[in-house]
Amino acid sequence: MRGLTAAQAAQAKRNIVPRRSSRSFGAIIRANVFTLFNFVIGVLWALILIFGQWQDGLFGLVIVANALIGIVQEVRAKRTLDRLAVINEEPVRVCRDGRDQEVPPQDVVLGDLILLGSGDRLLVDGEVVESDGLEIDESLLTGEADPVHKRPGDRVLSGSFAVAGSGAFVATHVGTDAYAVRLAEEASKFHLAHSELRQGVANFIKYITWLVIPIGALLIYSQLRNTGDFGTAITGAVAGIVTMIPEGLVLMTSIAFAVGVVRLGRRRCLVQELPAIEGLARVDVLCLDKTGTLTAGGMDLGEVLPIGDGHPVEEALAALANLDQRPNATAQAVQVRYPATPGGWTATGSVPFSSARKWSGADFGERGAWLLGAPDVLLDGGEGYERAAALASTGARVLALCRTRDLAAAERGDPDAAVECVALVTLQQRIRPDAHETLSYFARQGVTVKVISGDNPEAVSAIATGLGIPDGDRAVDARTLPEDDPDKLADILAANAVFGRVTPRQKRLFVGALQARGHTVAMTGDGVNDVLALKDADLGIAMGAGSPATKAVAQVVLLDNAFATLPHVVGEGRRVLANIERVSNLFLTKTFYAIALSLATGVLGLMFPFAPRHSTLVNALTIGIPAFFLALAPTLERSKPGFVPRVLRFAVPAGVLCAAAMLLAFWAAHSGTSTLNEDRTSAVITLFLTTWWVLVLIARPLTWLRVGLVAAMAVLFAGALSIPFVREFFALEPGDLSNGLTAVGIAVVASALITLAISVTVRLAGTLRP
């Protein structure tokens, strides 16, 4: 049991596993440079440089800008995530050269003697060599909810965690050879879990890519047929194809996610999966574990109240508290007053504490077997039970100190195991000072709070009532709840807010029942009893001081244990999603007007109504520049499912009407004696005004900053029309006053129709929604 020597450890294979929270620099560069859109735009850029004028190739700079901005933002997010991930890593206790020491997870080596206590996560596979009531939960690997007792010689697997007792094992597989890494390699490195937002954007891009090919071919054919100048035909076709591509949409999505990660990182909040930010925005039910979330870590020993005379209450309490080498919070609180085991109290057998059992105990030979745990679990009526209930109603945590004749019978749950209550012990819990304000925030935001705790229902109710949680005075004892009727369980969850004596398995059932009713559920916790519920929740949030197993499965870790950080976490998620939806409306309006315009000009055999440089100017002022600001603006609105349908309801009518207005303005100008550039200028004026109005609609509600943004874009376009060298660069010729007024009139009418069409589609969708 001396473990490896330092020399042996230095030569052994280390536990090197890719970080879950970020990807490599090379992967970031490849993802931002080698994209389908960059390839298409690069080919079109080359065609313009060969057959057209260089001014029409400005759109090619989008490739460089997209790649650079995307890389910079992702690298910032990676550095933030990696730094926080290191802070979040729990050291592993190993024995080397006969001494216990803590080492970082990556410094664990093959053959190490690893020490285990309750709450520890197993990072590598191994073989048990010592067990003192060691119980391992393998549910995340096998789906089996019951903990497994481990004895010397038994195999243990990475991905499981200790829930009771203590022990040691020798590492037999480390790094990528470990079972959990082989089983789910993607879970051990950067990956994107399911995200409606990212999936929606990916679907848009996929379908648009397929549309670009046939429409682009039709456009090239019509432009070649309509003019004998090959360069003019290529320029017109490229203008249509480039405008169809929402080249900045992926960039803006990545930036919004990356900036969200960095902002949360400044609050010492580690986002272990990027789509967790999306989950933050959709949460409408927050399940809180009382201990460690509403109450701060640690407790203070209150009163020790003997029941009856002649029992060695303090000696038994001291012996039980000092039994475990890695005491839990309860034992630590008792140890402050009773720091040492009294003489003559040597345990011959013990039962470690577990969340499912809710008590611990030991047999001290001739001094008897003693139990310490929940009164309503150990006692069945009597004076101790009644007094414990009265104490719990004040908000104190109450434990019963009991004697029993047979420790093994008590562990089996044998009803014949006689248990005598000899004392009650009260523990004072420290309410977080920020808990009331944080809960008030969630109430204002329409997020329902459910308190689910393993503690006595009366104690949980007292704390919930003191914090102003609605219906906090009506705590439900989870032992009375049905476990085989999900619908009935969901009804009870909907009608109540506070639950006590909830087992780890029930916490998992609670999350599933709420999800079955269409709720997006966030779960917070810090103990090993919260692991399964955190894993199943839409968003698992762990406290930084929580158990390693809890932090391993959570998508978000509050490293500073600040409950008050949660509103900022939720607010950041809402900001990201709402603003990406705004930006998607902008980019896809452009895509749909380009598709409609390309189809119309291709089928009718018309000249394309603008050149690539015109597209660059209008897109920069109505989409590109505003999108950067809108993607980072604050918002409090909770995001709802249905991202893709909502965007389509806005972008399709807006895009089609913009295209119709532009074609009408081009046709009206083209029917006179004006030049092609003058005709295109009229079309560009109409396009700018209609897409600028779309920007105004998307920017609502209009704050002073947003009014300033849209006004600045209008001023910049006016400058492009009036400043000679800018006007010449963008080939704008607004010389014909009648064409200009016609273009403005058409734009005003089209803007009114866009507003009406979007309003009708939104109302119609609301009517059809079940």
What is the set of active-site residues?
289
Nearest alpha carbon to residue 156 among 175, 133, 180:
180
| Backbone dihedral region for residue 732 (phi beyond 0: left; psi -120 to 50: alpha; all else: beta) | beta
The structure tokens listed for 465 are 């009532």
| C-alpha pair distances (Å), 349 with each of 1, 245, 304, 335 | 21, 72, 25, 20
Q: Which residues partner with 95 through β-bridges?
A: 100, 113
The structure tokens listed for 608 are 């394309």
135 touches 144 (CB < 8 A):
no
Place of tokens 């006007």: 727
Q: Residue 398 belongs to what H/E stretch?
A: strand 397-404
Asked if omega into 641 is within 30° of 0 (cis), the reply is no
Place of tokens 């329902």: 448
422 touches 402 (CB < 8 A):
yes
Q: Which residues partner with 425 through β-bridges?
A: 304, 399
Residue 164 CA to residue 146 CA, distance in Å, equals 12
Residue 254 CA to residue 244 CA, distance in Å, equals 20
361 touches 395 (CB < 8 A):
no
Nearest alpha carbon to residue 399 among 419, 379, 369:
379
φ, ψ for residue 522, nearest 5 deg: -105, 140
Nearest alpha carbon to residue 594 among 694, 530, 663, 524:
663
Q: Residue 698 belongs to what H/E stretch?
A: helix 676-699
452-486 burial string, b = 16+ CB within 10 Å, else e? bbbbbbbbbbbbbbebebeebeebbebeebeeeee
Residue 534 CA to residue 541 CA, distance in Å, equals 7
Q: Residue 499 belongs to what H/E stretch?
A: strand 498-500
Residue 585 CA to residue 578 CA, distance in Å, equals 11
Cα radius of gyration (the chain):
33
Residue 758 CA to residue 653 CA, distance in Å, equals 7
Beta-strand relationship, 285-288 and 155-156: unpaired
Contacts 24+ apart (CB under 8 A), 179-184: 179/125, 179/141, 180/141, 181/17, 183/141, 183/159
Listed in sequence order, the DSSP H helices in 4-134 are 6-11, 25-33, 36-51, 61-88
Residue 377 CA to residue 134 CA, distance in Å, equals 22
The structure tokens listed for 295 are 């109450």
Q: DSSP for 159-173, please give it.
A: T-EEEEEEEEEEEEE
* Cα dihedral 539/542/543/549 (nearest 10): 180
Q: Which residues partner with 373 through β-bridges?
A: 359, 400
Number of other CB atoms surrounding residue 283 within 10 Å: 27
* Cα dihedral 97/99/104/105 (nearest 10): 80
* Cα dihedral 483/488/492/493 (nearest 10): 70
Number of other CB atoms surrounding residue 215 within 10 Å: 21
φ, ψ for residue 304, nearest 5 deg: -115, 110
Q: Which residues partner with 342 through β-bridges?
A: none
Q: Residue 145 belongs to what H/E stretch?
A: none
